[in-house]
Amino acid sequence: MAMKRKSAGKLAMHLLWALGLAAVQVINAPPAVAAPPMVLEGADCYLLAPSVELLRAPAGGLTLDQVRNPPWSTRFHTAQETPTLRLGINQNPVWLRFRLNEISGVPPYYLELDSSQIQHIDAYLAQAPSRPGGEPNYREYFTGSGRPVSSRPVAFRTFVLPLPPNMPPQEYSYLRLANSGALVVRPYVWSESGLNSRLSTDSYFFGIIFGVLVAMLLTNLFFYTTLRDPAYFYYVVYVLGILFFEISLYGQWDVWFKLAPDMNQRVPWIAAGLVSFLAALFTRSFLRTRLLTPKADKVLKAFAGLGLLEVGLGLAGSYALASITAHVLGLLGPVLAICIGVLAWRKGQSSARYFLLAWSVMAVALFTLALKGLGLLPQAISSTTTLPLATAIESVLLSLALADRVRSLRRQREEAQQSERRFREMSLTDELTQLYNKRFLDSRLQSEVDHAMRSAQPLSVLVLDVDHLKEFNDTYGHAAGDLVLIAVAQVMRQRLRISDFATRTGGDEFVVIMPETKLEQARWAAERIRAGLYEHNFQLSQGPVVRATLSVGAAQHQGEESPARLLERADQAMYQAKQEGKNRVREATTA
């Protein structure tokens, strides 16, 4: 009985194993229906992806003969997504095959692989056999970014291959693609006129994009040389980095400079790292994160370090790791910039609004590019135009952000200067009368004496004292006395020149500095002030109408007389006026 149970158990295990193998075979089975041939019916452009079948080669790769014959020929399957083939990050080559059927139209036709970042492309394009019923011939191309530019049949930033005429519709053409980074490609078939239009449109598009970037670069370079604001410098090198990155990413670098293939493969990853590094430096400078948000500043430093790591990976030729790092930086960069921009805006940095708008535009493009490169985003449109357009818009918005930042900083400086002037005036101004105070008098009189001695121009001063102010305060109160002092200040403003300096130096004493004024002119000015105060009637509450008078002494600077001596002589003349009965003007004697 036990033996029967054991035999039954073994039989069940064998059945389960057989079912599992069958399930795996069903899952991995090739599609029942092969991709249909691409029918060329006279149009200028065809999306080839719906007619493409693909095979991921095992380690060690496969030859053309192997993929043409079973068992590998039966393992091709139709592409899961069109029009863009997202083949992920592969260490092993990927084989594509397709068939073309020319119903109408005028050859030649061209196959374009719309990507500049495919290191090795081996193309075997089916031709009519040399004899009926014989084996097909193949037109062969061996090109890619990892091979010399001279290997490209058409000198263009992507890979364009002329198709043989009258390709047999029953025969497959094969493409072997190998890349150490992300492998994303959109295949097209073009007529000759369609290809010419494609090349022309592409040149105009990138010409406009690069023109905008260069214009923003040169404009802000001029502003940097004028303003010497470090944020402008970091903007300029950041835009320069974007130019470098896009020229290398979209293939113009290979065609223009024709460097060694090994260098051409390194350049895009070096450029991607530099852009990340420079973006972090610009953000730190523009948002002043070191002062505004120290924690965010440390995060930006770390991000800049990752950018330099990406540069190092590119230089070392670690393309697979460089590809992953670049795409991760592309995802993290916009999020980091937007988060720090929001933080700066909440802390009152108004120019951060343009910064946020610029990075929001850039975020859409970089997220599209990064997710596409990682094979996580279904493709409906090509990202060839998305990122260049976004960088051009971002460069304009960041330029506006810089201009707004300069206006904001200038406004803050002007407000600070106004506050400084206000505080300085408060320190040099008498609070009651709003005339200059004694501190101002000491400084200004010294400078005016120095000027008079250098230029041999006359200089006079007046010393004025309100008569009987103490008794006035005792009789009518200090509030009434303050009204008298204010009235003296008003009369002085009305009857003095703009070039004269009126000061209050004590309780009831005033001094006037009169540059380029002779003694006789000073005396007449003093008489106008004295008469003006005497004509002023003070109507006190619940009291009589009263008047106030002034005693004034006038003196003119002589020889090398010091400011103290000049004031002393004017003060003596003022006391002489008081002794002679007050309410009068007296001139000082010579020194």
Q: What does the pLDDT look like over 516-536, one tens digit per residue?
A: 999 999 999 999 999 999 888
Choose the weakest-confidence range: 146-150, 240-244, 266-270, 380-384: 380-384
Choose the weakest-confidence range: 22-26, 172-176, 438-442, 575-579: 22-26
If one compares 2 and 235, the residue with the highest pLDDT of the two is 235
The per-residue pLDDT for 347 is: 84
Q: For residue 6, is pLDDT > 60?
A: no
Computed over every residue of the chain, the mean pLDDT equals 86
Return the sign of the alpha-carbon dihedral for residues 259, 261, 266, 268. Answer: positive
Q: For residue 387, is pLDDT > 90?
A: no
| Paired sense of beta strands 137-143 and 187-191, if any | unpaired
For residues 244 and 271, is the Cβ–Cβ distance under 8 A? yes
Task: Indicate the class that CATH gives domain 29-194.
Answer: mainly beta
Choose the weakest-confidence range: 2-16, 200-214, 242-256, 281-295: 2-16
Give the 3-state secondary structure of residue 507.
Answer: coil
Number of Cβ within a 10 Å radius of residue 222? 12
The Cα 536–Cα 486 span in angstroms is: 12
Give the tokens for residue 69: 């014959």
Q: For residue 355, is pLDDT > 90?
A: yes
Q: What's the residue count for the chain?
A: 591
Q: What is the mean pLDDT of residues 369-398?
A: 74
For residues 87 and 183, is the Cβ–Cβ distance under 8 A? yes
What band does 502 get if pLDDT is binned at 50, 70 and 90? very high
Task: Indicate the class that CATH gives domain 438-587.
Answer: alpha beta
If one compares 590 and 219, the residue with the highest pLDDT of the two is 219
Q: Which of 76-85, 131-140, 422-431 has the highest mean pLDDT?
A: 131-140
If one compares 31 and 61, the residue with the highest pLDDT of the two is 61
Residue ranges matching CATH 3.30.70.270 in the chain: 438-587
The per-residue pLDDT for 197 is: 95
For residues 247 and 264, is the Cβ–Cβ distance under 8 A? no
Outline where 39-191 has alpha helix (H).
Answer: 64-68
The Cα 471–Cα 582 span in angstroms is: 14
Q: What is the mean pLDDT of residues 151-166?
A: 93
Report which of 275, 243, 119 is spatially closest to residue 182, judged by C-alpha positions: 119
If one compares 461 and 427, the residue with the highest pLDDT of the two is 461
The Cα 88–Cα 375 span in angstroms is: 5
The Cα 40–Cα 471 span in angstroms is: 115
Return the sign of the alpha-carbon dihedral for residues 423, 424, 429, 435. Answer: negative
How many Cα atoms are found within 13 Å in the side-chain-facing hemisphere of 21?
A: 5
The set of residues, in sequence order, having a beta carbon less than 8 Å from that of 40 and lying 6+ positions away, is: 46, 100, 101, 102, 103, 104, 105, 109, 189
Residue ranges matching CATH 2.60.40.2380 in the chain: 29-194
For residues 121 and 141, is the Cβ–Cβ distance under 8 A? yes
Give the 3-state secondary structure of residue 374.
Answer: coil
Sheet containing 159-162: order of strands: 45-47, 187-191, 109-113, 159-162
Give the tokens for residue 299: 């995060």
Q: For residue 412, is pLDDT > 60?
A: yes
Q: For residue 507, is pLDDT > 70?
A: yes
Q: Which of 202-211, 379-388, 484-493 has the highest mean pLDDT?
A: 202-211
Number of Cβ within a 10 Å radius of residue 253? 23
Q: For residue 14, is pLDDT > 70?
A: no
DSSP state of 556: E
Choose the weakest-confidence range: 21-25, 68-72, 167-171: 21-25
Q: What is the mean pLDDT of residues 102-125?
A: 87
Q: For residue 19, is pLDDT > 50?
A: no
| Paired sense of beta strands 77-78 and 53-56, if any | antiparallel
The Cα 490–Cα 529 span in angstroms is: 10
Report which of 373, 372, 340, 377 is spatially closest to residue 359, judged by C-alpha positions: 340
Span between the terminal Cα atoms of the chain, in Å: 145
What band does 382 get if pLDDT is binned at 50, 70 and 90? low
The per-residue pLDDT for 22 is: 37
DSSP state of 29: P
Cα 185–Cα 187–Cα 192 angle in degrees, nearest 5: 140
For residues 160 and 121, is the Cβ–Cβ distance under 8 A? no
> Amino acid letter at 569?
R
What band does 372 get if pLDDT is binned at 50, 70 and 90? low
Give the 3-state secondary structure of residue 54.
Answer: strand
For residues 126 and 68, is the Cβ–Cβ distance under 8 A? no
For residues 558 and 590, is the Cβ–Cβ distance under 8 A? yes
The Cα 126–Cα 166 span in angstroms is: 9
The per-residue pLDDT for 543 is: 67
The per-residue pLDDT for 269 is: 92
How many Cα atoms are found within 13 Å in the side-chain-facing hemisphere of 508?
A: 18
The Cα 102–Cα 113 span in angstroms is: 20
What is the distance, to the nearest Å, from the Cα of residue 298 to the centroid of all Cα atoms in its chain?
19
DSSP state of 436: B
Percentage with pLDDT > 90 across the chain: 53
The pTM score is 0.67
What band does 317 get if pLDDT is binned at 50, 70 and 90? confident
What band does 338 get if pLDDT is binned at 50, 70 and 90? very high
Distances (CA, A) of 568 to 311, 514, 521, 573, 588: 78, 16, 20, 9, 9
pLDDT digits (tens, 9 = 90+) for 479-491: 888 888 999 999 9
Q: For residue 352, is pLDDT > 90?
A: no
What band does 398 get if pLDDT is binned at 50, 70 and 90? very high
